[in-house]
Structure 1
Amino acid sequence: MKKYIIMGVLLIAGIRGSFGQINSPLPTQPNVVLINVDDLGWADLGFMGSTFYETPNLDQLSTESKVFMHAYAAASNCAPSRATMLTGRYPMSHGIYTVDPADRGNPKTRQLMASPNAKSIPANIYTLGQFFQDNGYRTGVFGKWHVSDDPLDYGFDVNVGGNHRGNPGKDGYFSPYNVNVEAETAGEYLTDRLTNEAISFVKDNKDQRFFLYLPFYTVHSPLQGKPELVEKYKNKKGSEGQHNPVYAAMIESMDQNVGRLLTTLDKLQLSDNTLIVFTSDNGGIRATSYQDPLRAGKGSYYEGGIRVPLLIKWGNQISPGIEDTPVSQLDFFPTFKALISPKAELDLDGDSILALLVDDKLKQRDLFWHFPIYLEAYNPKEDGSRDPLFRTRPGSVILSGQWKLHQYFEDGGLELYDLQTDPSETNNLALSNPKKTQELLEKLEKWRTDFGAPIPTIKNPAYDAAFEKEAKEKVSEL
């Protein structure tokens, strides 16, 4: 798998410099389209090196975009990632650390009581929808919202399909739907329908500025693809960890619909004045699709759980090519602010990455994650986690240059990795490089103090060390 990713990178690198110079200064207040795919892994696209999944429209978009190879979700699963991206604030501000409940897994295997977890963005937290509304934009969300009951309460004028649901439910990708969308035709496919609605929104608002948030439910489980595409991939040879025909069919349908939306923008002559952002809310589920060379997947704070694909295109205003600077989805809100309303006084935790879009440099900074909660294992044999019983246990992470430090609260465990030489996070250097470990630990502790990050300390009375040991032994025997 690793060799294919390298091939993909070389493919993209070949287009650097093949487009015209960017215009300067940048015009202000473009339309903004933010496409957020659910559970799409970093390596699950053709332009990222996959030879099994077919994504011709996104591959083409990558040749016209800044391609961020080290883009990070703000959290490793759906709700906290989305809440953090939509507010530009760390979870300590909005209180959403995970998809409720925060104490997943057998209680006999959890040493600590998980920190409290909010289910919705508080009403007093300013969101991207409100920001765009306040700056004269028409706003619409089409798909998975997942951070409150109704996005209309958070600055969106139009909502199709968005509520507190985190997935389409049983058989939910084909009509009749379980989400709040009425089917137009029998057997209709949800990804197609959401894109139809998004295209209608663009057409209705072509003569005014708009913010289109398109958070597809796909490729989240339940895995359901169009039968003809599933059959196609049944007859195609996959690679190790990337060979699920249903998942491949879902990815191709998503790609087709992104292509339909891009074609609409072109036909309406809106592409030159539309900033397009394409990303995923967190890493992919490893049991479904490997993200090699990255370790683990959704729910983990190893690279496979938080590194995500990211493309940003804006006509000829930003130059296409590879960008290796680490960025976070926390940076989206500050970037939009810098472009659209630079004098607005907003309390945001990320940084504008406009400089990177115009081939300038961004001052090196550290990225942080905090997860005072538990997420149970999906598949102990496939997850690639530190612990076979959990995708993650309570802890924090700092990324500082090429160095990444994990700290776990139950046992005080520390893991230090040099991502430049070890992107798979297999060689823990915490003991062999105590100086770097201590340096990053001090930074991490200061950050937690500065932002009031809760650290769970109350012992779980239901914890049973003997039961936990036996449970781990059973997993090892599988």
Structure 2
Amino acid sequence: MHFYHCCRALLLAVAFSGWAMAADAPPNVVLILSDDQAWSDYSFTGSKTIETPNLDRLAQESLTFTRGYVPDSLCRPSLATIISGLYPHQHGIVGNDPPKTAKGDPSLPYQTGTRNDFLQHVDKMPTLAKILKQEKGYVSHQSGKWWEGNFSRGGFDQGMTHGDITKGGRHGDAGLKIGREGMEPIYDFVREAKADGKPFFVWYAPFMPHTPHTPPERLLAKYRKQTDSLPIAKYWAMCEWFDETCGQLLDFLDEEKLADNTIVIYVCDNGWINLPNASKYAPRSKRSQYEGGIRTPIMVRWPGHATPQINTTELASSIDIVPTVLAAVGIKQQPEMEGINLLDAKAVAARDTIYGEILEHDIRAMDDPVKSLRFRWVIEGPWKLIVPYAPNEPNEKIELFNVVDDPTEESNLAGKEPEVVKRLQAKLDAWWSVP
């Protein structure tokens, strides 16, 4: 135990030293987001088939949490949480597509204006790009997945997503070319920021390994030798192709001599389990309340400040990403942000519980998150409680799992552990009480 506490004290000291230096030389920030990838589909998390050498290296160089989570297993709410540090029910983006009318009646014809109307939420909420620019003069660039209209609405100075719904704008449009068709837009932006002497923030959220699963033939051939399922081979190959693009980005930071003063953070927006007979997700993965949907590794690399360690026990959440960056650059997090600074070892050790909410794909109401709610969930240590929202999920039951011993959630222990259920239900209601 003495060694354990000494390690935590060291991490805490490192975090405070980072704050002290932030005022002199603000670090650059690069956020890497995978799109639709299971938490176990990396070499460093135990995959025996998928090779991810670049992300393995990043994990070894980072403070890496293998028990990381996103509150919702659906991309748009998840990405909004990552950029804002707020839960979906706080920022109001509680599904991928807005109500078919402003009143949320799905029986009425779709009105394109509603999609634009729903962008009110990104206009109101804090975003990391806005905060870094206003407080510290950062310049920022968006590429890849982005649902919230034009990149500028998120506070980015430059970007690839136009967001015009009359020209195919929905979840990234032209930005979805990044990674699949090269990395030059990011390279050009970074070189420009470097020449101008500006600290920069990069949002790299490629449409990878997301469908369409169209990997290079060289990678597909490699994985076809390992499975009889063509859809699974395609998905595995996509994971390695995505890994290659991450390596290109990390190598570029090295070549430009920027790596030492750049915070690199990695997270996946939601999980994915590929069906064997189609390039589609299986139950208990994307959109689900299970580990296959909400769990993801979370990494923070900051040379000289974040002590590399693969942490397999402590809990981390994507709500922590914005607070971690703000602490590193010397900005106080906003009161409504409930996340912690992952480089503060004391805060990490003190946390024993994280929360989340599973929401409908199509948003039920413009300004009432509860109408889109399906499940709330809470994790305390090894215990995970899943509580259905009865009005929307009347046939589902409360589930309790020990996800340390049972990570695939095969054994519902709710009936055997009523006191644990009662305690965690009380925590869940204290976090977000719903009717």
TM-score between the two structures when normalised by the length of structure 1:
0.72
Query: Which stretches in structure 2 are left out of the alignment for 5+ residues?
Result: 1-12, 106-113, 363-371
2:314 aligned partner: 325
Question: 1:245 deviation in Å?
Answer: 2.4
- CA–CA distance in structure 1, aligned partners of residues 206 and 350 of structure 2: 33
Summarize deviations over 1:147-202 as a string: whole Å, max 9, x none.
Answer: x111202210011146389xx99xx9xxxxx93269xxxxxx75243522112211
Structure 2: distance between partners of 1:23 and 1:59:
23
* From 10, 17, 21, the counterpart of 1:25: 17
Q: What corresponds to 1:126 in structure 2?
A: 126
Distance 1:343 1:83, change over 3 A: closer
Distance in 2 (CA, whole Å) between partners of 1:247 and 1:226 is 12
Q: 1:361 to 1:397 in 2, by over 3 A?
A: closer
RMSD: 3.4
**1:373 aligns to 2:373 (yes or no):** no
Larger displacement relative to structure 2 (131-140 or 341-350): 341-350
Following superposition, the deviation at residue 364 of structure 1 comes to 2.1
1:398 counterpart letter in structure 2:
V
How far apart, in 1, do the equivalents of 2:262 and 2:93 lie?
Answer: 31
Is 2:433 the partner of 1:441? Answer: no
Name the structure 2 match of 1:420: 404
Match of 1:231 among 221, 244, 248: 221
Q: What secondary structure sits across from 1:338 in the alignment?
A: helix
**Would you say the 8 A contact 1:142–1:162 is kept in 2?**
no
Aligned to 2:3: none
Alignment gaps of 5+ in structure 1 = 1-20, 108-115, 173-177, 183-188, 376-391, 456-478
Q: Do the aligned partners of residues 370 and 344 (structure 1) sit closer, same or farther apart at CA in structure 2, a change above 3 Å counting?
A: closer
8 Å Cα contact 1:23-1:316 kept in structure 2: no
Change (3 A) 1:64 1:371: closer
Q: What CA deviation, in whole Å up to 9, does each residue of 1:217-253 have, x standing for no partner?
A: 111112111223222322x3149x9972222332222
Superposed displacement of residue 295, structure 1:
8.6
| AA matched with 1:312 | V
> 1:212 maps to which residue?
202
Mean CA deviation greater in 364-373 or 263-272: 364-373
**Is 1:394 aligned with 2:374?**
yes
Q: Structure 1 pair 77/136, CA: closer, same or farther in 2 (3 Å)?
A: same
Alignment check: 8 A CA contact 2:145 2:206 kept: yes
Q: Partner of 1:16 in structure 2? A: none
The DSSP-based 3-state class of the residue aligned with 2:133 is helix
Report the count of equivalent residues: 382
2:85 is equivalent to residue 88 of structure 1: yes
User: Please, which of 171, 179, 189 is the counterpart of residue 173 of structure 2?
Assistant: 179
Cα distance change on mapping 1:79 and 1:422 into 2, 3 Å: same
2:211 aligned residue: 221
- Residues 66 and 372 (structure 1 numbering): CA distance in 2 closer, same or farther, change over 3 Å? closer
Distance in 2 separating the partners of 1:374 and 1:365: 30
User: Which residue does the alignment assign to 2:183?
Assistant: 195
| Counterparts of 2:49 and 2:28, CA distance in 1 | 33
Q: 2:386 aligns with which of 406, 430, 441?
A: 406
Q: Indicate whether 1:250 and 2:230 are aligned.
A: no
**Percent of aligned pairs with the same residue?**
30
- Partner letter of residue 344 of structure 2? A
Question: Residues 433 and 344 of structure 1: is their aligned pair in 2 closer, same or farther, counting only changes over 3 Å?
Answer: closer
Rounded to whole Å, the distance in 2 between the matches of 1:424 and 1:341 is 40
1:303 aligned partner: 291
What SS is found at the alignment partner of 1:208? Answer: coil
Tell me the equivalent position of 1:34: 31
1:411 Cα offset (Å):
4.1
Q: CA contact under 8 A between 1:374 and 1:394: conserved in structure 2? A: no
AA at the equivalent of 1:366 = T
Alpha carbons of structure 1 residues 224 and 119: separation in structure 2 relative to 1, 3 Å: farther
Q: Counterparts of 2:209 and 2:235 in 1: how far apart (Å)?
A: 7
Which amino acid in the other structure matches residue 375 of structure 2?
G
Q: In 2 relative to 1, CA 367–33 (structure 1 residues): closer, same or farther, beyond 3 Å? A: same
1:394 alignment partner, SS class: strand
Tell me by how many angstroms 1:303 deviates. 0.8
Amino acid at match of 2:349: L
Q: Distance in 1 between matches of 2:138 and 2:425?
A: 43
One-letter code of the match for 1:159? G
SS of the residue corresponding to residue 349 of structure 2 reads: coil
Query: Which residue number in structure 1 is paired with residue 141 of structure 2?
Result: 140
For residues 431 and 291 of structure 2, what CA distance do their matches in structure 1 show? 21
Higher relative helix content: 2
Q: Deviations over 1:345-394 (max 9, x none)?
A: 453122222214xx88431242112235368xxxxxxxxxxxxxxxx982
CA contact (8 A) 1:160 1:194 kept: no
Separation of aligned partners in 1, 2:88 and 2:51: 35
Name 1:264's counterpart in structure 2. 252
Instruction: Calculate the TM-score normalised by the size of structure 2.
Output: 0.79
Match of 2:302 among 314, 329, 337: 314
Contact 2:84 2:127 in 1 (8 A): yes
Structure-2 residue corresponding to 1:475: none
